[in-house]
Amino acid sequence: MDKQLFDDAIGEVPPSTVDVDAAIARGRRAARVRQMANPAVATGVAVVLLTGAVAYTMTRDDDGSPAVGVAAPTTTTSSAPPSSRTAPPPPTGTSSASTDVVGVPVGGDAVPPPACEREDLESAGEAADRLLQAATDAVMAQRPDLALSPNHEYPKGTTRGPLEFYQIVEPGEELPICDAQGRLESTATTTAPDGDGNLLMLVEPDFHPDERGSCDGIGLPNRTFCAAETGPNGEEIVKQTVGFEGGVVMHRVVAVRDDGTSILVQAENVATSSKYNTPATATAPPLTLDQLVEIAIDPAMTLFP
């Protein structure tokens, strides 16, 4: 399970002395070692990366999502039951009974998008460098008065620059961008006249072509608004707003691009993160839902340029 999505599922928690990112990295490494120790599993991993497109279909479960310009949002309140979320399961060939580092069952098989078969894919480092510039430009285009500063350390003691993308892996490791555990993440604290906030971005291939965005399929605790729509280039977009104690508000957009890139862009009106249960430090998140959509569908925000 992705640490951020796990944090969302369990709600607000106080800061921990445990380096969760490091624990996730160790757990992923151990899982890969166990997988590759089994010849059948190793073969399955290789096959899915080379021939996963055979099983991929462009038929998507839009669940009645409206096209652009059609107003049909689904709104929920905090009384709606939260739904648990898991990170993309391991590639085809791994055990459906395995668990991730936090002990949550990971079931089913991941299906990478056809673009993962390309021979000119970037390395994680190359993609991270390009996405840093793309994300920074996209944010500044929406709100040029924002000042960005570091928000996160990984590994512990290594401060990541604002919107610097990185993988949660052991130091010195690098996973292919189409690895089911190779998600690229970035964060930043934002400073503006109306107060401080934070941004989070996650970029990865879409491993679940049959479980695409609807408000029913992507639930968050304390959600106050949700709307699903189709972007100008066929992107499948889910917009959500979540309220927390202390006046903290989260805006979150998840967009799946036609090339198979899945992007999560999130903004909160607290300088650190809503998970720390600290009061709001701004009157509103630094970016609106519509501004987050513009960032997510920016042509440069892709894994497959």
- Each residue of 151-161: pLDDT tens digit? 999 989 999 99
Distance from the Cα of residue 295 to its chain's centroid: 14
- Please report, in angstroms and rounded to a whole number, the separation of the first and last CA atoms in the chain: 27
The model's pTM: 0.68
Alpha helix positions (H), 59-204: 124-142
Do 206 and 109 touch, CB atoms closer than 8 A? no
- The whole-number pLDDT of residue 130 equals 98
* Gap between the Cα atoms of 180 and 216, Å rounded: 24
Q: Indicate left, alpha or beta for 182 from its phi (over 0: left) and psi (-120 to 50: alpha).
A: alpha
- The whole-number pLDDT of residue 225 equals 96
Low-confidence stretches of the chain (pLDDT beneath 50):
1-18, 33-107
Strands 249-256 and 261-268 come out as antiparallel
Residue 198's CB is within 10 A of a number of other CB atoms, namely 26
SS3 74: strand
- The whole-number pLDDT of residue 216 equals 82
- The whole-number pLDDT of residue 65 equals 32
- The whole-number pLDDT of residue 46 equals 36
- The whole-number pLDDT of residue 292 equals 98
* Gap between the Cα atoms of 199 and 250, Å rounded: 10
* Gap between the Cα atoms of 102 and 146, Å rounded: 35
DSSP assignment letter at 174: -
